[in-house]
Each structure stands twice: as structure tokens, then as C-alpha cells.
Chains A and B, each alone.
Chain A
Amino acid sequence: MVQSVKPIPSTWCPGCGDFGVLAAVKKAAAEVGVPAHEQVLVGGIGCSGGIHNFIEINGIHALHGRLLAQAIGVKLANPRLTVIAAGGDGDGYAIGMGHFMHAFKKNASILYVVMNNETYGLTKGQASPTSQIGFEGNIEHPFDAILTALSIPVPNFIARTFSGDPKGMTQVLAEAIRFNRANRGFAFVEDLSPCVTYNDTFKLWREKIVDVSKLPGYDASDRKAVFRLCLETMESGRIPVGVMHRPKAADPEAVALELKLLPDQEGPAVTDIALEHNRAAYDRLIKGVT
């Protein structure tokens, strides 16, 4: 057995919500039965972005805000890999916003977990795109990723979880990973993951969360219905959690990007590039230049 990279002790504060995410990602991947060497975990920059260091896994510590582009690059180069991107709200919704929006429309089968703590923890507690008005002098309105995700009419898997409910989170992540492994497209999970040092919202969020799946009229394949339920929940000062969109299995639109490009899933990273095996095709290509 070759000795390979081992997890290192986490750098997170005791009690950090990200521990819940770490545990849930590990459990969910094990539950789905993904071999560890077939997983690639792409972390962003910020406290949450170091997550891959704490698991025995292939990992990329990406540039700030660019983890989705790198994760999609990995997936399209080798669709047989299970690719999970995980970062914070500043990483995803501020500096990475352009890539975030395009990930829904690209619809590559990767899982993106945003650990939302409504602050920039690593740089010591500045307001983030999801901060409430008044937090650290914030005068801008908080951004809501779930409403945004629901507004993009692509059959992605969309959910919000809470770090205080590790069981529920594991279940959702396992479903998201299955969705990816069935090449059904992009899965987005926002986890409410409090920063115990700069914005300890554990107690507040536990009181405020509402499981939309328990509300009358809930149907995970009905984007309009869930959007309305989320809005109504937010208007009453509560936070909606749960599976927000689960496309129907029969949705003909639900073809993931990697399948459109590589129907047999043999990707650029694993295909044979040896000159002698491609010579005839190259000769034809060269003859095409006139």
C-alpha cells in the first residue's frame, strides 16, 4: 500500500458549523458508496475552503471564488470522478458570483456546498453578501441564494440544510451525490453553518428554520410553489430549509453537461493521446487544411 496524503487536524474553531458539513460530506459519500479515490473535493478560500485537508481525499484548494470553474474543469476532464465543491458565502456569492450563476446554466453534475455563516470569518468578521442589515455596519440587503437558484429554470437539485441538523444534512447530501452520479446535473446545497466566533447564530437559526417540505402545498418538482413557500416563510421572519428543487426523473431537459459533451463518459483526462494511436485521424485533420 502506497502511503498517500493523510488528513491533518482541522484549523476551525471549536464548535464551528463547518464540522457538521465535514462529517456529513464524509458520511454521505460513504453511504452512497463512492470510493474515496474517485472523489475530488474542491475547496474555496476562507475558513471553509480548507475542508479537503481534513479528509483522505483528492483535493484542490482553489483560488478565492474560482472553485466552481475548477470543479467543472475536473468533471469535464473526467466525468467518472465525483466532484464536490465546498466554500463559504463570501467565496461563492461575492467574488465568485459570476461563476455561481453560470454553474446552474452549465449544469455539470457536481455538488456545490456553500457554508453560509453570513460573515467573513477568516478575515475577522466583516459583513458578507448574506449578512443581515446592521451586522458590522452593513447597510446593504442580504442576498438569498435559494431564491436566486429557484429563479433559474434549469432542472438542478437545490437544497438548504442546517449544520445543527447533521442527520438531515447527511440525507440531503447523499441525495445530491446520487443525483450527480446519475449524471442528472448540478446540485446546489446551501448549509447554514454558523461562525461561533464572529456571528454565532446557532440558537437563533435553530429557532427560525422552517422545513418547507412540511408546509402545505410543498412539491419539490414545482419551482413556483416552493418559491412562494420560501418567500412567505422569509416574510414571516423565518428561514426556509429542505429540498427546494428536485427535478422529476422524466424531465427531458435534465441532461447534464458532461453527458452532452461525452456520452460515453470517456473524458479528456483518460482518453488515449498517444501519437501512434491517433495518427490516421490526425492525417485526415491535416489534409483538411488546404
Chain B
Amino acid sequence: MLIGGQGGDGTLTVSDLLGRYFRLKGLYVYTSRNVLSRIRGGHADASIRAAREPIAAMKSQVDLIVAFDSEAVDVGRPELAPDGTILYDSSVFRSDLPNAIGFPFATLAGGQLGAPIYKNTAAYGAISVMLGFDPALTRQVIESRFRRRSPEALEKNLKALEIGRKAAIDAGMEARGNVVDGEARDQVLTTGNQMVALGFVVGGGRFFAGYPITPATEIMEYLMRYLPPFHGVVRQAEDELAAINMVIGAAYAGARAMTSTSGPGLSLMTEGIGHAGTAELPIVVADCARVGPSTGEPTRHEQSDLSHLANLGHGEYPRFVLAPGTADDCFYLTIDALNLADKWRVPVLLLLDQALSQNTVTMSPVDLAQVRLDRGKLLSTEEFAKLEAYKYYQFAPDGISPHVPPGTPGAFAQVTGNEHDEWGHVSVNPVNRVKMMHKRMDKMVQARGDLPPPRLYGADQGRVGLIGFGSTWGPIREAQAQLDRRGIPTKFYQARTLYPVPTDTLRPFLDSVDVAYIIEHNFTGQFARLIREALPDHHAKLRSLVKFDGHSFRSPEIVARVTEG
């Protein structure tokens, strides 16, 4: 379903109410928003999908359009199913389309309740009649949503619900469809950003500094709620330069520290991330990618930061780029990122995309039994006391120097972004330079076995490979099912480590297929280019499928590309 109107119309409210109803019915839910970068006004719409199976993508067809402005019809119509319906507010505009049904929601709500804003709940009421909702459950949804707001809000919304229901019943619209029951009773509704924030806390993250930026801001907002009871600190900095450097200072002091940002902020943070790379300070940066470059399209979806992350900054330093594909993956990979940064003393970059960051999705609650913390070579005071010498950059076969936080009696640590010797003193000695470069850069090879493995899906006998990362997980999984039905079994490699390119798992995967489609949201096929560079022998098998219009893939686009060959 697509619900559209002017910003401030409350289209998200309708989507939220429907989502609550579907969840009470035991269904899996996925929602997305299509908003402009402004607070009020302008067209905005929300999409919601419910299913009996887990979902992480929108369908290619819309069954119902709820239009509070005529633009919602324009936006939704190209995707409207042949038997789809348009429900619109006839107090705002008129539609002569054969499948359009108009009710004057704003006038009805304004006339009887004194404020047209209740049109949202009235529309929900009409939908509940059309789709044969259970009246008691329908009411329960309103109560759960508005009970905590105020008694007046609850009362008016309950009245609005009846206004909408009556209008639909009077028009003879009852039970044009029905909503089946599902089994998804244990699910929670969340977003990738919320799961990054939760993973950060559970992973021992205690210091966060950031700067507001779409679509990353919710991570900071959740942490402002989550962290204070744990002696955690969240600061909104004056800019991204300050944010990343506060994180670096906190990491030096011994805290697990993170920032989150999007493209423009990432550009500013690049300086600091390189500093952490050479100073060997463990930081995590979550990049919630949006359309770039420059300000790009702040609210729209893209995966075009990957090349930047892989090559981030001037000079050379180790970094790991991880990419969760689903909301639960955001939780677990954030913890992995904290562990990897701490253990290997490198910056770890967590790449999300707008759809993964902000779209809401049902998932099973996270499981603490799966969580492990690894603090690497952090020494206890007793272990430290047994050392002969404490060198912050001591050479070691694995490149990792033992360390204690500043404040430990007898321990002095000097860190610098200049090239340095084992003591942390600035050095331009060429022999030292070569050894230090190996100390840092070899971590990219040494850490291989530690980096998050891919998730593989599909038939062993499939000779068609699909490779993707981030939120393409949803449409790719659905495309697999559709291709299966057409007799084309496929294998899906969901990459969770993007850089260093996971050749150890990609090579056997590519060996096992005749052709592999690398599916990503950017113009140049950034992941495809990285794979081609790392595995040139497999060049002939690789096909790129890219999309960069600001919107997520729909599964038929993937099916079409694969069947075209």
C-alpha cells in the first residue's frame, strides 16, 4: 500500500496504524518513506507491505493507494496492480479513474471534530472496512497508538475512526478484501539505525559523538536515550571534524567509541579516520549512505560510498569495511565492528544505506547468547606490571601492540599521526618506516579469518550467482524465489565484509557458478570493480546490475536482468 499527501498531512500515521494492525494479525511488516528534505509541505508518501513470510523489500505492485493529494495518485499509479484500488480524499481533489473511490475525509473530520488532521484516522477507518478488518482489533490499534498521548487525542481519534468506518459502510464498501492471519507473533518492528544503536550499547560502546545528518541521525538519537544509564556519553558536535576527533580522543582514553554519518559528513571525517588508521586507535564509523556526491539527495537511497570507504583518505592505512544486510545483521555487525577495531587497533567502517537505515521491518528479537566481546591485547594492570618495556607501537608478529588505558600507574603512551617509532616518537627513519608500514598494512591480511563471513543462500546446483550487500538483501532474496519458480536456481552471496575484498570466500563462490550478477546501487558498479580488481581471473563471469535513481531495487528488475542473460 502507498499512502501519500503533503508533508505534515500525517501519511506516516496511516502507515503506522496499518502496521500495528498487521502485526496484531501476526504478519511480517516492511515500511518505507519517501520524503523530501524539508520539515513541512511538499509531497511525501509512505509505503507499507505485510506478508506471511519474512520480507525486507517492497513489492513491485501496489494494491492500494491512499491519496491525500493528487500527486499521490501520480506517484503510485505506475505501480498500481490491475485490480488495485485508489482511496482518495475528495475534499482535496477529484479523480475520475475507474478504480478510484473518494471520501471527503478532511471535510468530515474538520466538520465533526474541529480539525481536518483527523482525516488520517478516518482514512484508516475506511480502509479497515474495505479490507474487512476485525473491528475490535482495529480499535485496539487506535488505543495503543493514542492512549499515551492524551485522553482528548484518544477520544477524537476514536471518533475519527468511526467517521471513516461509517463513510465506507454507507458507501457499501465492506470487505472488498481480507487480511489473513500470520504466525509472526514474536516479532519486533525496528530499523537498521535502531539496531546499530542497540548493538553499540551491547557491544560495550560507551562514547558517541556525531553531527545531525540524514539518514544517520536516528543512531545518535537512540543513543541519547540508551547510553546515559551505562556511564556512556553522547555528544552532538559542532561539525563532523569535531565528532570524529572527539571519538579519537575517547578511543585513546580507552572507551569503545563510534560516530555515524552520511556521505557529506564522511568526506569531512576522512581526515580523522586516516589519523586513527596511522595512530592505531580503534574507532567505528557508521556510514548511512544516501545519494551523493555533495548534498546529493539527502533522503534518497544509494550505495555509492563504497569506493570512497575502500580508498578513504590520503596515504595508506588498514581499514575494514563491513556491510550489514538486514536489521538484525546491523545489531550483530556493529558488535563485530567494535571487537575488530579493539582487537586489531584499526578504524572499522560500517556501511549501511538509506533503506536499511530507515525503513522499518519486523524481525525476531536479538539474542544476547550470540554476543561475545573481544578486547584483544588490552592488558590488566597486573599484566602490564610484568612488562619489561611498554611501547605503544611495539612490533609484533600480528601487528597488534599490547596496551593499557592512560591513567594506569607507570604507563605513558604517546600517539601520533606522524610516522613514529615503537615509542610513538616522530620518526623519518626509512628502516622504521618500512617496518611500521608492514605492522599496520599486514593487518589487512592477518585479520582475514576474523572478518565477518558472507551469508549464502540458494541451491547448491545453481549455476547463476547473485552478489549484493546492504539492503539489496531483500529484493535479491525475493528475486531468488521468483527465479526458482521459473526453473532458474540461483546462489546468493550476501557480502558482509566488503574491504578487504573477501577473496577467500568469493573465489570458491565464483568457481561454483557460470555467471554472477553483482547488484548494487551506484553508477559505476563499485563493488564489481573491487571484485574484478581482486579476482581478475573471474572477470568473464561477472555482470553488473546497477540502479542509481534514488530508489531501492524491486525484485522483478533483478529477475529481468538474470533472465535476459
A residues whose Cβ falls under 8 Å from a Cβ of B: 1-6, 8, 35-38, 40, 42, 50, 52-53, 56-63, 66, 69-78, 80-81, 98-99, 101-102, 261-262, 266-271, 273-275, 278-279, 281-283, 285-287, 289-290
A218 shortest CB reach to chain B, Å: 33
Contact B412 A36 (CB under 8 A): yes
A2-B410, A37-B411, A77-B255 given; name 19 further pairs at CB < 8 Å.
A4-B389, A6-B423, A60-B279, A69-B244, A70-B245, A73-B209, A76-B235, A76-B246, A77-B249, A77-B257, A98-B242, A269-B206, A269-B253, A270-B254, A275-B202, A275-B368, A287-B365, A289-B188, A289-B190
Looking across the interface, which residue of chain A has its beta carbon closest to that of B388? Answer: A3
Given contacts A37-B407, A57-B412, A289-B365, contact A78 B426 (CB under 8 A): no
Residues from 435 to 485 in B contacting A, C-beta threshold 8 Å = none
In the bound complex, residues from chain B placing their C-beta under 8 Å from that of A268 are 206-207, 231-233, 250, 253, 255-257
Contact A282 B407 (CB under 8 A): no
Q: Which of B228, B232, B412 contacts A5 (CB 8 A)?
A: B412
Contact B366 A286 (CB under 8 A): yes
Contact B246 A270 (CB under 8 A): no
Contact B248 A52 (CB under 8 A): no
Interface size classification for chain B: 35 or more
B19 shortest CB reach to chain A, Å: 12
Q: Which of B242, B389, B408 contacts A99 (CB 8 A)?
A: B242
Contact B246 A267 (CB under 8 A): no
Contact A74 B388 (CB under 8 A): no
Q: Which of B188, B368, B425 contacts A8 (CB 8 A)?
A: B425
Question: What separation, in Å, do the CA atoms of A63 and B368 have in the docked complex?
Answer: 38
Residues from 225 to 262 in B contacting A, C-beta threshold 8 Å = 226, 228-233, 235, 237-239, 241-257
In the bound complex, residues from chain A placing their C-beta under 8 Å from that of B230 are 271, 278, 281
Question: What separation, in Å, do the CA atoms of A3 and B371 have in the docked complex?
Answer: 37
Contact A61 B253 (CB under 8 A): no
Q: Which of B57-65, B413-421, B501-509, B549-557 contacts A (4 or more CB under 8 A)?
A: B413-421
Given contacts A3-B390, A274-B373, contact A77 B233 (CB under 8 A): yes
In the bound complex, residues from chain B placing their C-beta under 8 Å from that of A279 are 368
Q: Which of A37, A50, A63 contacts B408 (CB 8 A)?
A: A37
Name, among B245, B256, B409, the residue most crowded by chain A CB atoms within 10 Å (CB to CB). B245
In the bound complex, residues from chain A placing their C-beta under 8 Å from that of B252 are 40, 60, 70, 73-74
A45 shortest CB reach to chain B, Å: 8
Contact B408 A78 (CB under 8 A): no
Contact B242 A102 (CB under 8 A): yes
Q: Which of B246, B372, B411 contacts A4 (CB 8 A)?
A: B411
A-B contact pairs, 7 of them (CB 8 A): A3-B388, A37-B410, A73-B248, A74-B253, A80-B407, A102-B237, A275-B372
Contact A73 B411 (CB under 8 A): no
In the bound complex, residues from chain B placing their C-beta under 8 Å from that of A50 are 426
Contact B426 A4 (CB under 8 A): no
Contact B415 A271 (CB under 8 A): no
Name, among B207, B384, B406, B417, the residue most crowded by chain A CB atoms within 10 Å (CB to CB). B406
Q: Is B264's beta carbon under 8 Å from chain A?
A: no
Question: What separation, in Å, do the CA atoms of A70 and B242 have in the docked complex?
Answer: 8
Contact A73 B245 (CB under 8 A): yes
In the bound complex, residues from chain B placing their C-beta under 8 Å from that of A69 are 237, 241-246, 248-249
Q: Is B387's beta carbon under 8 Å from chain A?
A: yes
Residues from 264 to 279 in B contacting A, C-beta threshold 8 Å = 271-272, 275, 279
In the bound complex, residues from chain B placing their C-beta under 8 Å from that of A269 are 206-207, 250, 253-255, 405, 407
Question: What separation, in Å, do the CA atoms of A175 and B53 have in the docked complex?
Answer: 67
In the bound complex, residues from chain B placing their C-beta under 8 Å from that of A1 are 410
Contact B245 A58 (CB under 8 A): no
Contact B373 A290 (CB under 8 A): no
Residues from 181 to 206 in B contacting A, C-beta threshold 8 Å = 188-190, 194, 198, 201-202, 204, 206
B140 shortest CB reach to chain A, Å: 15
In the bound complex, residues from chain B placing their C-beta under 8 Å from that of A261 are 228, 233
B251 shortest CB reach to chain A, Å: 8
